[in-house]
Amino acid sequence: MSAFPTPAGPPAEQASGAPAAEPPQAVFLDLDNTLIAGSSALAFARTFARHGLVDRATVARGAWAQLLLVLSGADAATMDTLRRRMTLVSTGWEVSRVREIVAATLQEVVGPLVYPEAVRMIERYREQGAEIVLLSASGLEVVEPIAGLIGIERFRASTMRVEDGRYAGELEFYCYGEGKARAAREIAAESGLDLARCAAYTDSVTDLPLLEVVGHPYVVNPDRELRAIARERGWPVLAFVRAASRRDRLFRLRDAVSDRIGVDARTRTAATPVVLAAGGVVAAVAAGVVAWRRTR
């Protein structure tokens, strides 16, 4: 029996190759759509609005961004747009105020989003003696308390420059793409880890550098490109879900659309309009439901 956790996805999604017989030295985990459903940063949009940090229009844009992330994946262009918008919106916020709000609402906002499968997987890895490391493109003030909630002591997150206790509108470190791979290499060097004997879990093709730097890559709820790459390379594909979750139903819709389209893993042009069209249908239905409720 393998020392690595058994992939949680359906049999057709699992890789045929047998994992290594020994437990990993460390496991590097992505946060958004891997440990929790959706974006950790966008999850706090309504909470920040209640406390006067953002307006309703920003909340609406955040909800739309969440939908696009689920349906079309977090490609580099999408993530760059989100990064720029969130950096701009948060400029001038008091860091201490953000920490207070996140701490006070953490269980309410993030608790329901945590995938039970991810928690069980982390527990199994801990029993095997593996070090658990969380790597996220979200901000430190959001990632640190979430890591504490899940019970992860070591983490790396994006950090913004701070002046006089307020965000200055400039990133100091972006824990994204190659940045995640660099963070993994730095942590490995600090702790004397052999990355060939480490595992990594993520959902997005933008984290391919991280998956390629470890010896045992796994993908969770992957976007279309990463799913295709995983199949080509024989990487295990896992499906983490929450019962009756609207977001998870969107994941299944996205995957069904992707599976019907024969598109190469490295091209988005043919599939993107179809996936975004599906997103438009879902958004239209959601808007109709909201309008119907308002008339009652």
Q: Which domains does the chain have, with CATH numbers?
A: 21-295 (3.40.50.1000)
**pLDDT tens digits, residue range 104-148?**
999 999 999 999 999 999 999 999 999 999 999 999 999 999 999
Higher pLDDT, 117 or 287: 117
Q: What's the pLDDT band for 84 if we cut at 50, 70, 90?
A: low
Confidence band of 89 (pLDDT split at 50, 70, 90): confident
Q: What is the mean pLDDT of residues 88-95?
A: 83
Q: Which residues contact 206 (CB under 8 A, 6 or more apart)?
A: 74, 75, 76, 79, 176, 177
pLDDT recorded at residue 16: 34
pLDDT grade, residue 78 (50/70/90)? low
Q: Is 264 a catalytic residue?
A: no
Give the mean pLDDT of the chain: 75
pLDDT at 71 > cutoff 70: no
Between 37-41, 92-96, 289-293, the lowest mean confidence (pLDDT) is in 289-293
**Can you tell me the distance from the alpha carbon of 278 to that of 284, in angstroms, rounded to the nearest whole number?**
10
Out of 66-70, 158-162, 165-169, 223-227, pick the least confident.
66-70
**pLDDT for the residue numbered 290:** 32
d(CA 222, CA 251): 9
pTM listed for this prediction: 0.72
pLDDT for residue 39: 83
Of 30, 203, 207, 223, the active-site residue reads: 30
Residue 32 known to be catalytic:
yes
Residue 75: what pLDDT? Answer: 57
Query: Is a pLDDT exceeding 70 seen at residue 269?
Result: no
Q: What number is the average pLDDT over the span 269-273?
A: 31
Token pair 């997987």 is found at 121
Please state whether beta strands 26-29 and 199-202 pair in parallel, antiparallel, or not at all (unpaired). parallel
Least confident of 35-39, 63-67, 81-85, 170-174: 63-67
Task: Identify the pLDDT of residue 80.
Answer: 63
- Residue 206 DSSP code: G
Catalytic residue among 32, 203, 223, 248: 32
Extract long-range pairs of 85-89: CB within 8 Å, 24+ residues apart.
Answer: 85/61, 86/41, 87/160, 87/169, 87/170, 87/171, 88/169, 89/54, 89/58
- 177-215 confidence digits (pLDDT tens): 999 999 999 999 999 999 999 999 999 999 999 999 999
Over 90: is that where the pLDDT of 225 sits?
Answer: yes
